[in-house]
Amino acid sequence: MDSTAMPVNMPAYFIADALGLDFLNAIATTTDGPVDWIGDGKGLVDWLRQAALVPEPELDAIAGRAMPGELDRVADQARDLREWFRGFVTSHMGKPLTAGMLQDLAPLNRLLERDEAFSRITLHDGNHLALETARRWRSPEGLLLPIGEAMARVVVEEDFTQVKACQGSGCTLLFADHTRSRSRRWCSMSVCGNRSKVSSHRSRRKAAEV
């Protein structure tokens, strides 16, 4: 991906039907050029907020007590993690994952092993008991843990034969095809799908005029 992509104020893309792939789509090429939603620490916090991967109170608390530059350094790690996972996904998408690929996932397992998750009994909807999983947020680096979990879910829950890249010209977005016919081609019919239709229409009209 383009290392010159800049942070943006527009809403992030959540079109992949899998949060771990939406994380890869947190850098994209738009009509205005390459943009990166996690170009710095503030961007990382904003993206996590939009993705609802960290409870709002915890996210605000972490951002509030972070030392100067600390969140930016975590954002650097997040971008490195993103490009490592992009390499894994693009190398293996379109075909089934096999047991032999476990060694390729060692960086992700090392991240997951740092987690401090635990279970506790709590009230659900205010009137009945439920078991929930919570996490101790000891440092800003903990923000990488729910991202790692989302990526791991892509690996173990998605059919990699149906992980696809948008066919739009110049589009960099990835998605999991969950359609019944497994015929999804575009990140969005309203964007790349319509652009393709317009381009095809123009080509047919030019051919008819010859």
Give tens-digit pLDDT for 131-187.
999 999 999 999 999 999 999 999 999 999 999 999 988 899 999 999 999 999 999
User: Residues 82-118: pLDDT tens digits?
Assistant: 999 999 999 999 999 999 999 999 999 999 999 999 9
The model's confidence at residue 124, banded by pLDDT at 50, 70 and 90, is confident
Cα–Cα distance, 138 to 101 (Å, whole number): 32
Contact 2, 151 (CB under 8 A): no
Pick from 74, 69, 4, 16: nearest CA to 45: 74
DSSP letter, residue 130: E
Number of other CB atoms surrounding residue 12 within 10 Å: 21
Cα–Cα distance, 194 to 209 (Å, whole number): 23
Cα–Cα distance, 206 to 65 (Å, whole number): 61
What residues does 176 pair with on adjacent strands?
163
For strand 128-135 and strand 33-36, is the pairing parallel, antiparallel, or unpaired? unpaired
Helix axes 144-157, 70-92, angle to 10 degrees: 10
For strand 33-36 and strand 27-30, is the pairing parallel, antiparallel, or unpaired? antiparallel
Taking the domains of the chain in order of start, what are their residue ranges?
Answer: 19-209
Contact 186, 192 (CB under 8 A): yes
List, in sequence order, the alpha helices (H) in the chain: 19-24, 41-51, 56-65, 70-92, 106-112, 144-157, 194-209
Q: What is the CATH number of domain 19-209?
A: 1.10.3300.10
